[in-house]
Amino acid sequence: MTRTVTRSYDNYSQAAAVVERLEQAGIPSADISVVGRDERAEESNAGEGAGIGAGIGGAAGLLAGLGIMAIPGIGPVVAAGWLASTAAGAVAGAAAGGLIGSFTGAGVKEDEAHYYAETVRRGGSVVSVRTSETNAATVEAILDGAAPIDREARIAEYRRDGWERFDETAPSVRPGGFV
């Protein structure tokens, strides 16, 4: 049985380091996804994002295929992997909540999907891995060993600011938390 393990990070650099560790541990690139905000994506044209991987991501593996896409309510993001492909299809098809649908389609609970989308909107990054039960402990150890955001604490922080769920009509937030 396959399950999805997802964690969020305050910045893209943390997420990229996690992806590299996952690949070093033998997790196939095809099972790893990353979606996040990076200031270099802000400076690029989302329509010309293919091939940005070597400059932002890395020279090999999943990050070499990193691209840029624009997500409604979030803005330009760097993305790679199965989650990015699903989100790109949803965005191209004008589906509302493309990123939310990508997460829920991968088995993430809807309330968690809203949190992950909001985290990316506010400048964070998300790494999501499809894995077997056999590899789940290894994946979780790598994801948790990189100091992910405490989801419950961050949700409480968002709610203190009046947040209830991801709203793609809300203004995009640039990396570093600036609108």
Residue 173: inside a domain: no
Is the Cβ–Cβ distance between 102 and 89 less than 8 Å?
A: no
Residue 177: inside a domain: no
Q: Which residues pair with 76 in a beta bridge?
A: 70
What the block records as the tokens of 80 is 């790679």
DSSP 169: T
Residue 141: inside a domain: yes
Phi-psi domain of 27 (left: phi exceeds 0; alpha: psi -120 through 50; beta: other): beta
Residue 42: inside a domain: yes
What the block records as the tokens of 1 is 């049985």
Q: What is the pLDDT of residue 14?
A: 93
Residue 111: C-alpha distances to residues 51, 76, 98 (Å):
33, 23, 15
Contacts of 5 (CB under 8 A, 6+ apart): 128, 129, 131, 136, 139, 140, 143
CA atoms of 62 and 174, how far apart (whole Å): 24
Low-confidence ranges of the chain (pLDDT < 70): 39-61, 64-65, 85-97, 172-179
Angle separating helix axes 110-121 and 151-160, nearest 10 degrees: 70
pLDDT digits 0-9 by tens, 76-109: 788 888 877 655 544 443 333 578 888 888 888 9
Question: What average pLDDT is seen over the chain?
Answer: 79
Residue 18: inside a domain: yes
Structural domain of 97: 2-160
Q: What is the pLDDT of residue 45?
A: 52
Residue 30: C-alpha distances to residues 9, 21, 78, 85, 106 (Å):
21, 15, 17, 11, 14
Q: What is the pLDDT of residue 60?
A: 56
Residue 168: inside a domain: no
DSSP 133: H
Residue 7: inside a domain: yes
Q: Which residues pair with 129 in a beta bridge?
A: 5, 32
Number of domains in the chain: 1
Residue 171: inside a domain: no
